Structure 1
Amino acid sequence: MARRYSKKASADVAGAMKKRKAGTLKSGRSGRKVKSRKQAIAIGLSEARAKGKKVPKKAKKSAKKSAKKRKTAKKRKAKK
């Protein structure tokens, strides 16, 4: 399977996680301390994106969800 993020991007996320653990990671405008693991990862990825590292912009939609959408669209079309 292909690598999702570059190694350098992973290093940025690891740095953000260390800051969170130390209690020095702060969020956007408010400047509040980050306690959430997920938020720390998001901040790390955001910083990596800003530096121009290989990080996808958005998670891909699951095949299951798109298949469900196609099925409902087909039903609507059949009703008309």
Structure 2
Amino acid sequence: MPDQKTMARVRKDRREGKSASTQAGEFVREEIEHIGEGKHGARSAKQAIAIGLSKARRAGVAAKPSKMASKATKKKAAQDIAASKRRASGTVAKKAAAKKAARPRTRKAS
């Protein structure tokens, strides 16, 4: 899941009309930082780019695979784009509704 700061920067780029590659670059930068911090098993910048682009596509950035990309890469990109169009499971909404229902109700005396 992308950081909130990354998502905010991407939204800002989108509002400013920046290209899809600029928007996707925010996700790639985040992944490179994570590798530097040792947050996950990816070792190289090349892996960080692949992970960042995948996250960008899943977040709705229109980052197309290059024309020179392999068949497998294009297939993975298509899967990521399809995943971005799918509706979320609604877990967040369910949790919010459960919290609201669990709150004690107070009535004002009239």
The two structures have a TM-score, normalised by structure 1, of 0.55
More helix by share: 2
Moved over 3 A (4+): 3-6
Q: Tell me the residue number matched to 1:10.
A: 25
Q: Tell me the residue number matched to 2:67.
A: 60
Deviation string, structure 1 residues 42-63 (Cα, Å, up to 9, x no partner): 000000000010211x2213xx
Aligned ranges for residues 31-70 of structure 1 at < 5 Å? 33-56=41-64, 58-61=65-68
Which gives a bigger RCO, structure 1 or 2 (Cα 8 Å, sep 6+)? 1
Aligned length: 51
Identity percentage over the alignment?
Answer: 35
Q: Tell me the residue number matched to 1:71.
A: none
**Which one of 15, 18, 36 corresponds to residue 21 of structure 1?**
36
Deviation at 1:5, TM superposition (A): 3.6
Residues 13 and 43, structure 1, Cα contact 8 Å, conserved in 2: yes
Name structure 1 gaps, 5 residues minimum. Answer: 27-32, 62-80
Q: Tell me the residue number matched to 2:91.
A: none
Aligned partners of 2:61 and 2:19: how far apart in 1? Answer: 12
Residues 16 and 40, structure 1, Cα contact 8 Å, conserved in 2: yes
Name structure 2 gaps, 5 residues minimum. Answer: 1-17, 69-110
Aligned partners of 2:19 and 2:47: how far apart in 1? Answer: 19
